């Protein structure tokens, strides 16, 4: 492990024994001369940390007994990272063999935050495709490079100095990456999307878990939005009243991205009924947050 790596890869891990091995193997197959370290911040209770210790002793592993959400784990990773560029991915992702190389190239430009494409790692699962389109349609392979408002933490990197100015991710919730980007946007900073930086994400395969997750994720988004964007009471009421419009807006964006890109269009059309149900569940969770949380 280099004393001063060029990139620090930070992975938040929670009960990931079934998927983490492929994730870490993909990082071991990187085709690059760029030096990098891998930091796993684990709060699992299923043997994930033991697996990593036994099979990947070169990795910097930090294990915590208490659950850490992604933002919490990433904050810890940033605090111990040695490099001036930090890259995030998840345990259920597999990095393309050029991932590190492309991140390094992209960060030679002045952008503070850079995201990359997210492909589907389990293409044989019907539910997996529905989960994929519900959450990752904005960042599919084949999308054009350019500035975007938000990016999932599954394939996201920053110049580390950004944390000196904008501090930490909020903790104890999902959607901490979105809130961080809202703070950056106040100063005119967006995320640059570079599709050559690619990971594949292993999506949820069980329908009950998928729909439950969408409600929960949507509720976390709504809760974070109302709290950190300081929604007054009247604005909450307005958003609840506009529930059909919120649903249509999300659905329209997913549809538009797939028909513009078309890289997965046949799969999208096949999974369409379940994608609609997933979007409804997300919207339901979001509205619950506006009305209740």
Percent of the chain with pLDDT over 70: 99
Number of independent structural domains in the chain: 2
pLDDT average, residue stretch 101-118: 98
pLDDT band for position 2 (50/70/90)? Answer: low
In a shared domain, residues 162 and 265: no
158 pLDDT more than 80 = yes
In a shared domain, residues 155 and 88: yes
Assign 115 to helix, strand or coil.
Answer: strand
114, containing H or E segment: strand 113-120
Contacts of 94 (CB under 8 A, 6+ apart): 22, 23, 25, 26, 121, 199, 200, 202
Cα 284 to Cα 138, 152, 213, 242, distances in angstroms: 20, 21, 12, 12
Instruction: With respect to residue 1, please indicate whether it lies within any of the assigned structural domains.
Output: no
In a shared domain, residues 152 and 223: no
Q: Phi first, then psi: give them for residue 224, nearest 5 degrees.
A: -65, -40
Range of the domain at 173: 7-201
Q: What is the pLDDT of residue 97?
A: 98
**Average pLDDT of the chain, as a whole number:** 96
In a shared domain, residues 173 and 224: no
Cβ 157 vs Cβ 215: under 8 Å: no
In a shared domain, residues 169 and 228: no
In a shared domain, residues 74 and 190: yes
Dihedral sign computed on CA atoms, order 72, 74, 68, 177: positive
In a shared domain, residues 149 and 286: no
pTM of the model: 0.95
Instruction: With respect to residue 2, please indicate whether it lies within any of the assigned structural domains.
Output: no
In a shared domain, residues 168 and 278: no
Cβ 199 vs Cβ 145: under 8 Å: no
130 pLDDT more than 90 = yes
pLDDT average, residue stretch 264-282: 97
In a shared domain, residues 51 and 116: yes
Instruction: With respect to residue 232, please indicate whether it lies within any of the assigned structural domains.
Output: yes
């Amino acid at each position: 492990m280099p004393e001063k790596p060029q990139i620090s890869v930070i992975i938040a891990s929670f009960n990931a024994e079934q998927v983490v091995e492929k994730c870490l193997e993909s990082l071991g197959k990187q085709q690059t001369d760029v030096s990098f370290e891998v930091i796993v911040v684990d709060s699992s209770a299923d043997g994930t940390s033991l697996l990593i210790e036994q099979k990947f002793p070169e990795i910097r592993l930090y294990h915590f007994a208490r659950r850490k959400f992604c933002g919490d784990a990433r904050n810890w990773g940033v605090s111990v990272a040695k490099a001036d560029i930090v890259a995030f991915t998840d345990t259920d992702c597999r990095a393309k063999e050029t991932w590190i190389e492309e991140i390094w190239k992209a960060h030679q430009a002045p952008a503070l935050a850079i995201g990359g494409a997210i492909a589907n790692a389990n293409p044989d699962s019907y539910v997996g495709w529905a989960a994929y389109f519900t959450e990752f349609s904005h960042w599919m392979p084949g999308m054009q490079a350019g500035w975007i408002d938000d990016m999932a933490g599954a394939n996201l990197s920053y110049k580390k100095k950004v944390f000196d100015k904008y501090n930490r991710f909020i903790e104890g919730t999902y959607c901490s990456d979105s809130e961080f980007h809202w703070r950056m946007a106040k100063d005119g900073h967006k995320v640059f999307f570079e599709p050559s930086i690619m990971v594949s994400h292993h999506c949820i395969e069980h329908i009950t878990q998928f729909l439950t997750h969408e409600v929960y994720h949507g509720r976390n988004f709504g809760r974070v939005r109302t709290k950190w964007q300081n929604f007054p009471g009247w604005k909450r009421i307005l958003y609840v009243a506009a529930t059909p419009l919120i649903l249509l807006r999300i659905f329209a964006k997913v549809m538009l991205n797939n028909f513009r890109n078309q890289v997965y269009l046949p799969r999208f059309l096949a999974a369409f009924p379940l994608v609609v149900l997933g979007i409804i569940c997300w919207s339901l969770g979001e509205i619950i947050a506006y009305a209740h949380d």
